[in-house]
Amino acid sequence: LAAASFAAIPIKKQLVSHSAAPDACDAFQLCSRLDSRGQHGALAERVFQFLGVHPAMLLREDLRQGPYFNLLRLKARLMCGDFHLYRTRGLDPLRRVMGSSAQQARAFVREVVLSLEASNYGGSVVPPGGKMRDVYTVFVRDAGWFLRIELRMEGGRPAIVVCEPQECDVVLVLHGWFAHSEGA
Amino acid sequence: MQGEEREDLQPCGACGRGTLRPKDMAWVRTGHRDDPRLCVRRRIVLPVCDACGDMALDHVLAAALDEALEDAYRQKRLRQQRAMISDLHKLGLTSTEIECAACLPPGHVTRLRRGMVASPRTFRLLHLLHAFSPGAVWALSRIDPALAEVYARVATDDEL
C-alpha cells in the first residue's frame, strides 16, 4: 500500500473561488443551490470525490449517532476471515489504487478494519432505500489519503460495503454535518 | 429445492433493494491488473445483485474470481505478445534487436514467446514498438546508435 498513490483534488480552493465556502457545510449549501439552478455536474462531482458522499445524497441521507453495529463482535468475525467485501465500492477502488488481486485487497481490508477504533467512527448512515451502515475513516499515509469504510452485519457476518480512498477525514465531515443540522 | 435456493439468497447490502442471485460472469468485461477490459471466458458463478449489479465476495469467491481473472489475463497477454513479436519479426527485426530496442535482457523475447507473461512495462514497450515501427526504431536510434543500422534495414525507401 505504501506505493499506492491517490490524486489530490484541490476542491476547497475551487469552492472558495466559486464563492465563500470555507467548510463542508457551506459546500453542501453551495451545491444544493447549484443543483436547484441546474448547474450541478462538474462541481458536484468534485465535491463527491472530496467528501465521499454526493452532496445531494448527503442532504437526503438519514444520519444517526452510533455506532449501530458492535465493533468488537465485528472484528471477532473478521479475525476468522469470515466477511463479505462488496465489489463496486469496496474491492474495485482498492484494486485500482493498489494494483492488487481480490485476495490481496481482501487481506488489506481485513487488516484495516481490525485496526479500527472507536475514534475512527464518523456516523451511521442509511442511504435512500438502503440499510444502516457505520461509517469509519482511517488515515493511511502521511502525505496522502484516508479510507472511508462503511460496514454492516449481514446475517451475522460482517460486510464491508464501501472501502474507498478519500481526500479528507469523513469523521470530521460528518461531525461538521451533525453540528450543522443541530444548528439549523 | 426452491426453498433451499430461497434460503441462500441474501438481500444486497449496497443498494438495499435487490437480492444477490447467482449469476454466470463469463464474457463480462472487467478490469484486472493493468488490463481494464478483461473478459473471463470460463463459467464463474458469483452472487450479483439483480438491482444494482454489485456483488458480495467472501474468501472462496474472491479466490475463484482471482483465479479466473488471472487465467484470462495470462491467455490474453500471451496471445497479444506472441502476435506482436511475430509481427516485429515479419518486419525484419530479430529477437536480439527487439531486446536491444526495448532494453530487455538477452533471451527475454524467446521466453516471452514460450509462455512467460511480460510485465506491464515490457508489454507497453512492445506495444509501442509494434504500433510505431519503424518510426519507433528511428527514434530509439537517436539514443542508441546500434539501432540506426536496424532502422536502415527495416525502413522503406520513402521513410528513409
**Residue B97 CA, distance from chain mean position:** 24
- B114 to chain A, minimum CA–CA distance in Å? 25
- CB contact (8 A) between residue A130 and residue B16: yes
- B78 to chain A, minimum CA–CA distance in Å? 19
- Tell me whether A77 touches chain B (CB under 8 Å): no
Q: Which residues of B touch A129 (CB under 8 A)?
A: 15-17
Grid cell for residue B39: 473478459
DSSP-derived pairing of the beta strands B19-24 and B56-57: unpaired
Q: Which residues of A touch B69 (CB under 8 A)?
A: 101-102
- CB contact (8 A) between residue A129 and residue B31: no
- Residue carrying C-alpha cell 458522499: A53
Read off the DSSP letter of residue B55. Answer: B
Query: How many residues does this entry show for chain B?
Result: 160
Q: Supply the pTM of this predicted model.
A: 0.69
Best mutation target among A68, A77, A92, A101 (most B Cβ atoms within 10 Å) is: A101
Per-residue pLDDT of chain A (184 residues; tens, 9 = 90+): 332 333 333 343 333 333 333 444 555 555 555 555 555 455 555 555 555 555 544 544 455 567 889 998 899 988 888 899 999 889 988 888 877 888 988 998 998 899 888 888 877 888 777 788 888 888 776 545 678 899 999 888 999 999 888 766 655 555 544 444 444 3
Q: How many whole angstroms separate alpha carbon A86 and alpha carbon A99?
A: 17
Whole-complex ipTM: 0.73
